A and B are shown apart, each in its own frame.
Chain A
Amino acid sequence: MEILYFTEQPMSAYPEEAATDEIPIGGGKTQRVTALLFSNKHFSSEEGSRLYKERMEEYKLADEMGFDGIMLNEHHTAPFCMSPRINLFAAMLAATTQNSKIVLLGNPLPVNDNPVHLAEELSIIDMMSGGRLVSGFVRGGGVENIQANTNPAFNRERFEEAHDLVMAAWTREGPFRWEGKHFDYRVVNPWATPLQRPHPPIWIPGVASKETVMWAAKKGYPYIGLNTNFDVSDKIKQLYSESAAEAGITAGPQHFGQLLQCHVSDDEEKAERNAQEFMWMRGEFTGLAHPVWGSPTGYGSPSNRKSLIEISNGRRPMIAPPSKDQRKLDKTFVWGKPKQVIDQLKTVIENNRPGVLALWGNDGRINHEDSKLCIRLLGEEVLPEIREFAKSLDIKSPSDTGAGYNLHLESPIPEYRKVEV
């Protein structure tokens, strides 16, 4: 099992009382917003400068403490996440950390208009880090699509085509032409290719969208459930295993990962107080938003169409995020002193048998000192014990088994796509 450290990189210094704007969300109801239209006049560059430096120090500590990977993500136009370009921190970590993998969960492919540049950036990160890149891809949330002005109706098509193009840029000999439905290149010939061959491992994070689970399974890419409870994780496994089998892949723990919130402290009361910070923005970890922003028309899964229509018109309430106590019951959020956390994590590991365990250690306004303490306690006391525990259960990781490599790479570039002069 591989263990990752994660934080959303919250812009915790904004004045919470500033988020008072209410917008109509249908059915005569209104809601406070902290995403998309929540003005960036509340962003402080001075505080931002401090927070970015603190995060970098914490990531370096996580590397020193022996985490197998540092997980990064990307969001936009909201204070819950200060990372609008995942590759920037990845590049900095490539140059400043030594051992941890740099796990990108993930680059939002559809909102990138230039997948070839993306392939180049990722290649540099892989080379600079000595082959420590894990290149996850996501579709991007609704807000990400809106802020990038990417057509949500073509989100999945763009996701799949951008993936194929990045793969081609990494694995095929250039120069070649690319004339797709959404991306068009006269010449693809990147002079920056990944160190890892045939390509950096691909992991796919998500919250259980059926189409994405099936897509990942058919390619043999590990699927990382983001704060999914036992029931949802079980459904993911079942769907993934069935789809993988259709592609001739036998799914195992190496194909499943689990992100959960996990805060450790040396004092129970402090752990409890800091745990409450994860519930900022009413526990909505992608910020408070109009339901249409979270799932613009054309973006959502067709199987959820009815409920999306009702929610976006105020006929059905938005699904409220689970309370802190519910998360504790679900084991999607564990907190306490190291021993308490270890016991709870063992239950998760025993039940989910994840090949990847991502620990979301810090959030909200948890201060720098407490964040570092959490990372240190995780590294010194929690990781060794749960690693041993996973070993005793024979839980293999993607690295142990080579999962994450595309098993269906196309043959060399066809003649007609070669570039002639």
Chain B
Amino acid sequence: MAHDDGWQEAEVDFGGSKLRYRVKGDGPPLLLLPHDNGYPPDDTFLDTLAADWRVYAPWLPGFHNSNPEDWTWLRDTRDLSLVLSAVMRDLGLHDLTVVGLGYGGWVAAEMACANPLLFRQMVLLAPMGIRPDHATIYDQFLVGSEHYARRCFHDIDAFERVYTPEPPFEQLEAWETDREALIRLAWKPYLYDPSLERLLAGAHVPTVVLHGDDDRVVPRECSERYVAALQDARLIDLPNCGHAAEVEDPAGVARIVNEVRPKVAV
């Protein structure tokens, strides 16, 4: 299904469970894995990427807009990542650049551990998935979903520009659905997998890890640990950004992604 804004929507069947995704652009293939609280109403970041890439943007299985009732059988983030890997293969995709945002960064890392050949490179923004030793990942399950969404921003005006000062009920409901899915997958251990850090040794994928300098959700230590555990990774700090850095500075984050763009489309 094509939309006026150039995005096409499609659905893939996985053993009877339906996964939905959007696609746009003509460049080399890029897989975008969103934050745990989904896509913002404003597609600026995705559209910026789609100018240079062919962007595949799935709604995470079980999360808002992706047939949640189909995916209640998923038990953890690794299950979810295996589904996404299989779907990418079924779509004939390989040599992907993957951009994983927060929770989506963890999903990307799991996919890279199990299927390193799927990816040409990774860009991970403040990825969850590793337990920090000197801090904790902010516990969003103890607060309302809007409170959490606001905390993802360095600049609260930026939040209100994108979501409006009082997000409508439909947005609250979408966040709630996302949270229901996340709770099923990552309530305990809270947003990490104890073996992921060691498994990253097998994820032979060149990686850039980004981290907002005012991220109040994922401690910088998590990003540092990713860089240490991966074979070929470097860390870039993003000034004046929170956890949702791609919303606060879409052009800046897209520029970094473009810097790793292959010279020849694949």
Residues of A within 8 A of B (CB): 24-26, 146, 149, 151-154, 290-293, 296-298, 305-306, 309-310, 312-315
Contacts and interface: CB of A to CB of B under 8 A. Distances in A.
Contacts of A292: 141-144
B188 A26 contact: no
A341 B251 CA distance: 72
Interface in B132-181: 141-147, 169, 172-173, 176, 179-180
Given A309-B176, A315-B172, A151 B142 contact: no
B184 interface: yes
Contacts of A314: 144, 146
B187 interface: yes
Nearest to B176: A309
Nearest to B179: A297
A24 B187 contact: no
B143 A290 contact: yes
Contacts of A24: 143, 147
B141 A297 contact: yes
B180 A310 contact: no
Contact of B169 (A146, A152, A297, A310): A310
Contacts of B188: 149, 151
B179 A310 contact: no
A291 B142 CA distance: 9
A207 B232 CA distance: 56
A26 B144 contact: yes
Interface of B: 141-147, 169, 172-173, 176, 179-180, 183-184, 187-188
Contacts of A149: 187-188
B147 A26 contact: yes
Contacts of A291: 144
13 contacts: A25-B144, A26-B146, A26-B147, A146-B141, A296-B183, A297-B176, A297-B180, A298-B179, A298-B184, A306-B169, A310-B169, A313-B146, A313-B172
Nearest to A314: B144
Contacts of A310: 169, 172
Contacts of A312: 144-145
Contacts of B142: 146, 290, 292-293
A388 B164 CA distance: 64
Given A313-B172, A315-B172, A152 B183 contact: yes
Given A297-B180, A309-B172, A313-B172, A151 B187 contact: yes
A297 B147 contact: no
A314 B172 CA distance: 11
Contacts of A153: 180, 183-184, 187
A324 to B, nearest CB: 30
A151 B172 contact: no
Contacts of B179: 297-298
Contacts of B173: 306, 309
A11 to B, nearest CB: 23
Given A297-B176, A315-B172, A151 B145 contact: no
Nearest to A26: B144
A297 B146 contact: no
* A-B complex: 7 closest residue pairs judged by Cβ atoms: A151-B187, A313-B144, A26-B144, A312-B144, A297-B179, A313-B146, A153-B183
Given A296-B141, A309-B169, A309-B173, 14 more contacts: A24-B143, A25-B144, A26-B147, A149-B187, A151-B188, A152-B183, A153-B183, A292-B143, A297-B141, A297-B183, A306-B173, A314-B144, A314-B146, A315-B172
A313 B147 CA distance: 7
B99 to A, nearest CB: 27
Contacts of B146: 26, 313-314
Contact of B176 (A26, A152, A290, A305): A305
A26 B187 CA distance: 22
A268 B144 CA distance: 45
A59 B188 CA distance: 39
B26 to A, nearest CB: 39
Contacts of B141: 146, 292, 296-297
Contacts of A315: 169, 172
B179 to A, nearest CB: 5
A18 B110 CA distance: 46
A151 B176 contact: no
Contacts of B180: 153, 297-298
A128 to B, nearest CB: 35
Contacts of B176: 297, 305, 309
Contacts of A306: 169, 173
Nearest to B167: A313
Nearest to A312: B144
A296 B144 CA distance: 9
Nearest to A297: B179
A312 B169 CA distance: 12
A290 to B, nearest CB: 7
A313 B171 CA distance: 11
A291 B143 CA distance: 8
